[in-house]
Amino acid sequence: MSYADAETGSIEVDFGEDGLVPAVAQDADSGEVLMLAYVSPEALARTRETGEAHYYSRSREEIWHKGNTSGHTQSVREVRVDCDADALLYLVDQAGGACHTGHRSCFHRTVDGENVGERVFDPDEVY
By CB under 8 A, the residues from 32 to 71 that bind a copy of itself are 32-33, 35-36, 44, 48
Paired strand residues for 63: 56
- 84 marked as binding residue: yes
Identified binder of a copy of itself from the candidate list 82, 95, 120, 126, rule CB under 8 A: 82
Neighbours of 95 (CB within 10 A): 15
- What whole-number distance in Å separates Cα of residue 55 and Cα of residue 41? 10
> Is 83 annotated as contributing to ligand binding?
yes
Contact (CB, 8 A) for 63 and 49: no
User: Is the separation of the CB atoms in 44 and 88 below 8 Å?
Assistant: yes
Query: Minimum Å distance from CB 87 to a copy of itself?
Result: 4
CA–CA dist 39, 21 (Å, integer): 5
- Coil, strand or helix at 42: helix
28 is an interface residue for a copy of itself by CB under 8 A: no
One residue of 49, 61, 84, 125 binding a copy of itself per CB under 8 A: 84
Q: Which residues are annotated as a binding site for Mg(2+)?
A: 82, 84, 86
Contacting positions for a copy of itself (CB under 8 A) = 4-5, 8-11, 13, 22, 24, 26, 30-33, 35-36, 44, 48, 78-84, 87-89, 99-101, 103, 106-114, 116
